[in-house]
């Protein structure tokens, strides 16, 4: 599972360049009984198997993590993964990712081996492997040099706190649909402002709550006030009559978001 993803594209190049070092370990290799058992039935009864503590403790110990190395369990009960969490992890020299499987993991693993738990979203996967690959990918691309240009990750959605706006490439006209004139104008300042406004508009329409933590200039805020005047976001659509009422609702809306 891991070899196919880590052996392609960016992560392959990053490893070849010595920027990232990834190893995978099968906990079955650390089981001690003759059947190499890694799971067992649950105490107290009930359906499903639970991962045993011994192979997990032995597998992690064999990696000789330092006292500050995060030992992370991938589980739907974990802390929601985000760009901010990826940045925290990228600041560490190394991390150990433990993939939960089956119905669960013995609680003593959580209490005495694991230092953090991460979930990649509110849905349940059959195992933590895909989640571990997501975490490795998101963290690796933050390591300087992995993306090529050193600053390439700085303008990402979520790094700026805004969603990315529209982008175009050639041809100038495709099936009658033209690339916006401003992008072909060669006027750097206008292009920069247009892109910023596109990002603000898209964020306002799709993920207005991100605006609460984004770093905004006075000009951005004026533009957002205009957008708010045009009506609610798509996510929480509000229809109002009259400017005063609209402003009040916008204020109420932002207060609610702040509270949330
Ligand atoms: Cl980290 N593991 C599993 N099994 N399911 C998940 C998840 C992790 N994150 C979201 N769903």
Assess whether 150 carries a catalytic annotation.
no
131 lines ligand 1 (CB under 6 A): yes
122 lines ligand 1 (CB under 6 A): no
76 lines ligand 1 (CB under 6 A): yes
Please choose, from the candidates 16, 19, 7, the residue with its C-alpha nearest in 3D space to the C-alpha of residue 140.
19
Assess whether 195 carries a catalytic annotation.
no
What percentage of the chain carries pLDDT values higher than 70? 86
Q: Which two tokens stand for residue 28?
A: 């079955």
**pLDDT score at 240:** 45
Residue 143, SS3 per DSSP: coil
121 lines ligand 1 (CB under 6 A): yes
Terminal Cα distance for the chain, rounded: 39
pLDDT tens digits along 128-138? 999 999 999 99
User: What CA–CA distance (Å, rounded) separates 26 from 37?
Assistant: 12
Task: Please say if the pLDDT value at position 243 is more than 60.
Answer: no
Assess whether 144 carries a catalytic annotation.
no
pLDDT tens digits along 45-73? 999 899 999 999 999 999 999 999 999 99
- 10 Å CB burial of residue 192 (0-12, 13-18, 19+) is exposed
Where b means 16+ CB within 10 Å and e means fewer, 41-67 reads: eeeeeeeeebbbbbbbbebbeeeeeee
User: What CA–CA distance (Å, rounded) separates 47 from 194?
Assistant: 57
Minimum-distance ligand 1 atom for the alpha carbon of 132:
1
Assess whether 180 carries a catalytic annotation.
no
Please choose, from the candidates 155, 40, 12, 33, the residue with its C-alpha nearest in 3D space to the C-alpha of residue 104.
40
| Catalytic residue (one of 54, 88, 103, 164) | 103
Least confident span in 91-95, 99-103, 208-212: 99-103
CATH superfamily of 2-140: SPOUT methyltransferase, trefoil knot domain (3.40.1280.10)
| Catalytic residue (one of 55, 101, 106, 141) | 141
Helix (H) or strand (E) holding 40: strand 39-41
pLDDT confidence bin for 227, thresholds 50/70/90 = confident
Cα(219) to ligand 1 centroid in Å equals 40
Task: Provide the total of helices (H) and of strands (E) in the chain, helices listed first.
Answer: 10, 8
Minimum-distance ligand 1 atom for the alpha carbon of 118:
1
Rg, Å, the chain Cα set = 24
Residues 6+ apart with CB under 8 A from 175: none
Global pTM reads 0.86
Q: Answer for the pair 210, 202: CB distance below 8 angstroms, yes or no.
A: no
Fold of 173-259: 1.10.1270
Cα 105 to Cα 5, 49, 99, 186, 232, distances in angstroms = 25, 9, 10, 58, 45
Cα 23 to Cα 6, 134, 234, distances in angstroms = 10, 15, 44
For the residues 176-182, what does the mean pLDDT come to?
98
- Residue spans per domain, the chain: 2-140, 173-259
What percentage of the chain carries pLDDT values higher than 90? 73
Tell which wins on pLDDT, 172 or 245: 172
Please choose, from the candidates 117, 142, 188, 116, the residue with its C-alpha nearest in 3D space to the C-alpha of residue 14.
142
Tell which wins on pLDDT, 151 or 163: 163
Cα(128) to ligand 1 centroid in Å equals 5
Mean per-residue pLDDT of the chain? 89
């Amino acid at each position: 599972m891991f070899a196919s993803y880590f052996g392609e594209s960016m992560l392959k190049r990053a490893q070849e360049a010595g920027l990232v070092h990834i190893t995978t370990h099968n906990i079955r290799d650390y089981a001690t009984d003759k059947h190499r058992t890694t799971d067992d039935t649950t105490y107290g009864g009930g359906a499903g198997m639970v991962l045993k503590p011994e192979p997990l403790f032995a597998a992690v110990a064999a990696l000789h993590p330092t006292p500050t190395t995060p030992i992370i369990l991938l589980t739907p009960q974990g802390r929601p993964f985000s760009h901010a969490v990826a940045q925290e992890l990228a600041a560490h020299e190394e991390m150990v990712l433990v993939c939960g499987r089956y119905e669960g993991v013995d609680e003593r693993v959580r209490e005495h081996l694991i230092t953090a738990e991460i979930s990649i979203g509110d849905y349940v996967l059959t195992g933590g492997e895909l989640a571990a690959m997501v975490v490795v990918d998101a963290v690796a691309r933050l390591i300087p040099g992995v993306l090529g240009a050193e600053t390439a990750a700085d303008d990402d959605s979520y790094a700026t706190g805004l969603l990315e706006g529209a982008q175009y490439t050639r041809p100038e006209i495709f099936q009658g649909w033209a690339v916006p004139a401003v992008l072909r104008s060669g006027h750097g300042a206008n292009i920069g402002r247009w892109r910023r406004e596109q990002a603000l508009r898209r964020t306002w329409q799709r993920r207005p709550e991100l605006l609460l933590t984004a770093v905004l200039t006075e000009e951005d805020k004026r533009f957002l006030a205009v957008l708010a005047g045009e009506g609610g976001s798509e996510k929480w659509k509000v229809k109002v009559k009259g400017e005063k009422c609209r402003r009040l609702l916008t204020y109420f809306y932002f207060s609610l978001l702040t509270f949330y």
